[in-house]
Structure 1
């Protein structure tokens, strides 16, 4: 299918996110992907292995609409609302990524070198993804939530712990991108 639509501009998507947040706050709910995944793990029986997953997950079933919405929204965005334009990267960044072995830097939203089916055949890439997943899981638990929960729900409701967590996320991202990633590749 030919991609003819551009992604939604910030002045459409931003107010829609604000509307969803207002509705969640009105109904006394919070938003965050990690709480949704916690509910999924609890449904799957993870409570047998960790007390963290022992809670009344039936009261949290509404969270699964967010997971379903993310899946459906991702499909709609990639199939109908995306164009074939490249990611606009700084030329210096493109050169640095190419020096690390990332071909076609900026040609896709995420680098194929790490996020393609072929990439997981590489033990190095598979190990990076596994370790990264464990670190993200640990960090999410340690911070009391994920980037979407803290950055969207926490900041919009003026929670100081969320501000601290978001600052930590950005500092961690800068360290990873500028110091650790060049050492790995």
Structure 2
């Protein structure tokens, strides 16, 4: 009998995230991916040129484990835990994605139209990466943190600015996917 891997249900993964957040708050630590980028830039010496990166990065080394976990976790999930069955999508979603130029809708989590080397290394792909990277970097700095930092750490510690930021992230995502994305593709 073939064993089919399933994602962890919410009642397991949700409490695990809550336990991790409780431990971080208990030990006076915060979580967020953008703080890891700041730490990496500070390690590389960016603090000599930009004041934002001039801080005691050695106190934040522990947080780099998150980056390693994301890299290795993604590798393990892709190569050892992926379930190669088709994705169950509604007929309307399939029609909408076909109209946007996606082929083989529902056959892969990473459509080749976006994630192949040909798509990434095209002029359009490079422009999207550069402009999108700049906007994400600017937005993260302007918002005082990234989506994971605000949505997980900020909301867990009941910070009103994080609630405002998370609402802004969701509104921005809705605007992007419904208004801007159809223009780009």
Q: Shorter-normalised TM-score: what interval?
A: over 0.9
2:47 maps to what in 1? 47
> How far is 1:57 from its partner?
0.4
Q: How many residues align?
A: 184
2:59 maps to what in 1? 59
- Cα distance in 2 for partners of 1:104, 1:3 equals 25
Deviations 1:15-36 (A, max 9, x none): 1111111110110001110001
- Cα distance in 1 for partners of 2:15, 2:96 equals 36
- Cα distance in 1 for partners of 2:56, 2:3 equals 43
- 1:74 and 1:146, CA in 2 relative to 1: closer, same or farther beyond 3 A? same
1:143 maps to what in 2? 143
**Structure 2, gaps ≥5 residues long:** none
> How far is 1:3 from its partner?
7.9
- Cα distance in 1 for partners of 2:62, 2:167 equals 29
Deviations 1:88-134 (A, max 9, x none): 43332221221111222333223321222221231112211211111
Contact 1:33 1:146 in 2 (8 A): yes
Ranges of 4+ aligned residues in structure 1 off by more than 6 Å: none
Matches within 5 A, 1:118-157: 118-157=118-157
What TM-score results when the alignment is normalised by the length of structure 2?
A: 0.92
Contact 1:8 1:81 in 2 (8 A): no
Secondary structure of residue in 1 paired with 2:114: coil
> How far is 1:8 from its partner?
1.5
- The CA RMSD measured in Å over matched residues stands at 1.7
Contact 1:36 1:67 in 2 (8 A): yes
Deviations 1:63-111 (A, max 9, x none): 1111111112112222222211334433322212211112223332233
Say whether residues 1:6 and 2:6 are aligned partners. Answer: yes
Contact 1:150 1:163 in 2 (8 A): yes
**Structure 1, gaps ≥5 residues long:** none
What TM-score results when the alignment is normalised by the length of structure 1?
A: 0.92
- 1:80 and 1:94, CA in 2 relative to 1: closer, same or farther beyond 3 A? same
